Structure 1
Amino acid sequence: MTIDVAITIRRGDFVRDIAIASDAPVTALVGPSGGGKTSALLAIAGLVRPLAGHVRIGGRTLFDAAAGIDVPAHRRDLGVMFQEARLFPHLSVRANLGYARRADPAAVAAMAERLGIAALLDRWPRHLSGGETRRVALGRALLARPAALLLDEPLAHLDADRAKALLLLIGEAALDLPLLYVTHDPDEAITLGAQVVTVE
């Protein structure tokens, strides 16, 4: 799927031009903290409005300042996995997974098996480890059956073993749908075989 992004974004006093052009299965936006990577991802997702430019995913125009196009986030058909898992604290793991487009129970069970969290389906988010929480968040994003998946520093604050396990699962997800992967660690991008876009 082609990613064609050329936008100007503002966050507070920070203004930045970001350009991404890729047709790779995995595209990694790599650079140091504070460079605008997360802001770019949020703009692509429709959660931040750029000052100018365009966002086209798979040939579909999601934003074009000159043409007055700004597709609402919930209609962009993009799955987003944030740095913080953002699970619903009042819902069990099963209900968090099933929240995605009201996924049917069989699909939820199959996803839980795939991610190694089948034994956790009746737990509450507050009883999960960091790695378990990220797996639930990944599963919820995948169950939404998006056209593409946007991941913002998904391995942040995980220990090496949990990070490695989650990265393997993300690599498997990339076999099914395109990924835009934000990270400060070039090794993660290399492991995923990503086309790298560097943000300085």
Structure 2
Amino acid sequence: MTLSVDLSHRFGDFALDVTFEAGSGVTALFGRSGAGKSTIVNAVAGLLRPDRADITLGSTVFNDMRTCLPPHKRRIGYVFQDARLFPHLSVAQNLDYAARFGAKSKTRSHVIELLGLGALLSRRPATLSGGERQRVALGRALLAEPELLLMDEPLAALDGPRKSEILPYLDRLKSETGVPILYVSHAVDEVARLADTMVLLEGGRVARAGPLFDVMADPAAVPLLGVREAGAVMRAHVQAHGDDGLSTLRLAAGTLNLLGVHAPVGSEIRLRVLAQDVLLSLEMPTGLSAQNILPVTIKAIRSGGGHGAAISLDANGDALLARVTARAVTSMGLHEGQSLFAIIKATSVAQNAISGDTTLAFSPGP
């Protein structure tokens, strides 16, 4: 089922004018504060009536020139940043309240198992951690049998440990429920881990949109993502775990050896390699401590307004991104179509840069 959004709205001096589509899986709306992310999801939910809108979910018209479907008829689940549970009800009662509005096909027990809520059922929201409250909020939204799930900065209020606690549940939610998700965030690590499609917003406009792997590896997206956060997302298969703590991952262009991968052998994972952690060499390097060396071809070079350049690389069909100085581009004679080698340190991929079919972790090393 596809969500189609075409809307414009004005708040004082700020004008929002966006068009995009969100298909199955997770579509992430990403942008700085004030880019228009929450306004979009509120319009989709029916909590805001835009100045102009054509919004449809499959064959259901939410908004057009004649229609503005009320929120309770949109079959949407909405998970807010602050959970918004009923404080006077137990977890079980919060879930049961939502289940009254849902169909019978999705059982309460399945949602409880999916989100690991069994041990929490008798507790009140005030006794839960932030991550536990968000899991209950997710369960409540799912039990209403939504056709679309909206998540507006659901992890923004959580600290690092609580965020790590809930991310595996979001992975399961994405893979097991089949409910399309529109996910709002300004955290690149969350988007890289969860999203299938990415919509980059800047100043109320869509700056880039498309499959996550393409958008993240686009040099033009670096200013929007931030130079320290920019980096490509790659798929890899776990080939082996060594006694020395290094795991061997198979990519299209070769192998990577990384620390602390706990996914089972044979599973597929995704990892984000920051552009600033990729080194380039004109020749096959020798005598390096870094053992991860991949043959690549330069697809595009984009120079920023400063002294750096973002370089899009083709690693036998996988996209990789490198950030180097403008001086390096000149001194190495870098140009589109050139073949060279990309070097990635085994300790450069951190814990929040990985996701897969199970609970995974990367150790950043010493």
* TM-score, length basis structure 2: 0.51
Give distance in 2, aligned partners of 1:172 and 1:58: 24
Give the conservation status (yes or no) of the 8 Å contact 1:37–1:182. Answer: yes
Give distance in 1, aligned partners of 2:188 and 2:169: 18
Look up the equivalent residue of 1:118 and give its one-letter code. G
Q: Which moved more, 1:128-137 or 1:170-179?
A: 170-179
Give the conservation status (yes or no) of the 8 Å contact 2:5–2:56. Answer: yes
Aligned counterpart, 2:86: 88
Look up the equivalent residue of 2:69 and give its one-letter code. V
Q: Which has the larger radius of gyration?
A: 2
Give CA-to-partner distance per residue, 1:80-103, whole Å, 9 cap, x none.
101110101111110101111326
Q: Are positions 1:184 and 2:182 aligned together? A: no
Q: Quick check: which one's helix share is greater?
A: 1
Give distance in 1, aligned partners of 2:187 and 2:89: 33
Pairwise CA distance, 1:58: 1.9
Q: Which moved more, 1:180-189 or 1:36-45?
A: 180-189
Give distance in 2, aligned partners of 1:11 and 1:142: 32
Look up the equivalent residue of 1:92 and give its one-letter code. S
Give distance in 1, aligned partners of 2:109 and 2:73: 26
Aligned counterpart, 1:76: 74
SS in 1 for 2:155: coil
Look up the equivalent residue of 1:189 and give its one-letter code. V
Aligned counterpart, 1:32: 32
Give distance in 2, aligned partners of 1:120 and 1:21: 37
Q: Which moved more, 1:188-197 or 1:35-44?
A: 188-197
Q: Could you tell me the percent identity over the aligned residues?
A: 46
Matches within 5 A, 1:165-184: 165-175=165-175, 176=177, 177-184=179-186
Pairwise CA distance, 1:148: 1.2
Q: Which moved more, 1:126-135 or 1:110-119?
A: 110-119
Give CA-to-partner distance per residue, 1:155-197, whole Å, 9 cap, x none.
1121223212322212222232111100002221221142100
Look up the equivalent residue of 2:116 and give its one-letter code. G
Pairwise CA distance, 1:14: 3.4
Look up the equivalent residue of 1:8 and give its one-letter code. S
Aligned counterpart, 1:138: 138
Are residues 13 and 95 of structure 1, via their aligned partners in 2, closer, same or farther at CA, if it must alter by over 3 Å? Answer: farther
Unaligned runs of 5+ in 1: none
Look up the equivalent residue of 1:96 and give its one-letter code. N
Give the conservation status (yes or no) of the 8 Å contact 1:30–1:199. Answer: yes
Give the conservation status (yes or no) of the 8 Å contact 1:2–1:59. Answer: no
Give distance in 2, aligned partners of 1:147 and 1:11: 29
Give the conservation status (yes or no) of the 8 Å contact 1:147–1:178. Answer: yes
Give CA-to-partner distance per residue, 1:117-153, whole Å, 9 cap, x none.
2111111111111111101000101111111111001
Give distance in 1, aligned partners of 2:12 and 2:88: 33
Aligned counterpart, 2:127: 127
Higher relative contact order (CA 8 A, sep 6+): 1
Unaligned runs of 5+ in 2: 203-366
